[in-house]
Amino acid sequence: MDNFLTNIYKWYNLNKRDLPWRKDSDPYKIWLSEIILQQTRVEQGKNYFNRFINSYPTVKELALAHEDEVLKLWQGLGYYSRARNLHASAKIIASQYNGEFPNDYKSILALKGVGPYTAAAVASIAFNLPYAVVDGNIYRVLSRFFGIDTPIDSSKGRKEFQEMAEELIQNQDPGMHNQALMEFGALQCVPKSPKCENCPVVDSCFAFKNNGINQLPVKEKKTKQRHRYFYYYLYDMGDSILLDKRSGNDIWQNLYQLPLIEHEKALSDSELLKADPPLKSSEINIKTISAQKKHILSHQIIHAKLIYLEVQPNFNNPSPLIRVNKKDISKFAVSRLVEQFLQETGLGQ
């Protein structure tokens, strides 16, 4: 086991990426990077990290931001609950800790949107505390090297891998240890076609010796995806359009969107022409109906169309819909799906 870690550490020192959140041990930057990278590739995440740090250099400044500003900055990353939780936690840090990031595992874990993995990452990297992280990369490295076939998405598997990770962590530099294992999984022991030919631990790797690279790690559950059918209506009033703000406990909460009707099944264009739009008027002209767009989320597949309506400038829109000048559309945080529809109509950013 010691040789395994020694070789991983040597590999890390030679191959680690130059990432902006590795420049120092600022817990705010490390926390921000971990939240962004929960569901985002590093290359895309770097750009968003830099945007946030440029806009909000400290957690106090993030706490003072308006939620709409935070969501707009997050636009395109998806999983928007991360942004809302990030903002809520910044407010907690500002009010309860006087803007100083909490420096113990339990307090970090108590922040909104922070689970055991993120708490361990921040505690170990920022404060050198011996808490082991277990993410997808580490599941893959440990399952292959040690030959663990317990499903990683089972309670037994999560416990077994966590115990293994805790057994491996070194007290002298837990932050480096965690980053080395994660980086090794991200760059070397990758999901498909890992670089076994120049792997520093291949001679002792169970999966390589037993031709089991493609069988490990094991998952027992398949994600069930729900199909939904969205019909967006663009009310073009000359120099303005109508937007709505999503509410409730659903996808894209608190983001803006075009007026929407959801149906239980896909509707043909002829059926859409017969269907009632969200807002009725005797002076509505249907300009176009878009082709159906497929938008895939982790647990849902959205099938969407855009119905482009021309209406008179004096069209009376009821609350809570808001009239937005076309020049100001870019100021509103919208989902990637709505952004694509707006771009296709020439209204996007």
The catalytic residues are 34
In the 8-state DSSP scheme, what is residue 327? G
* Rounded-to-integer distance, Cα 292 and Cα 156, Å: 42
Structure tokens given for 85:
């939780």
Say if residue 58 is exposed, middle or buried (CB neighbours under 10 Å; 0-12, 13-18, 19+): middle
Cβ pair 123, 116 in contact under 8 A: no
Residue 271, CA atoms < 13 Å, CB-side half-sphere: 7
Cα 12 to Cα 5, 107, 121, 128, 185, distances in angstroms: 10, 30, 17, 18, 11
Q: Where are the alpha helices (DSSP H) in the chain?
A: 2-15, 27-36, 42-55, 59-64, 67-74, 81-96, 105-109, 116-127, 136-146, 155-168, 174-187, 206-209, 269-274, 336-344
Cα 252 to Cα 248, 249, 275, 337, distances in angstroms: 10, 9, 25, 10
Residues 6+ apart with CB under 8 A from 124: 130, 131, 132, 133, 169, 174, 175, 177, 178
* Rounded-to-integer distance, Cα 297 and Cα 290, Å: 21
Structure tokens given for 120:
């361990």
- Facing residues of 303 across strands? 229, 294
Cβ pair 188, 15 in contact under 8 A: yes
* Rounded-to-integer distance, Cα 349 and Cα 342, Å: 8
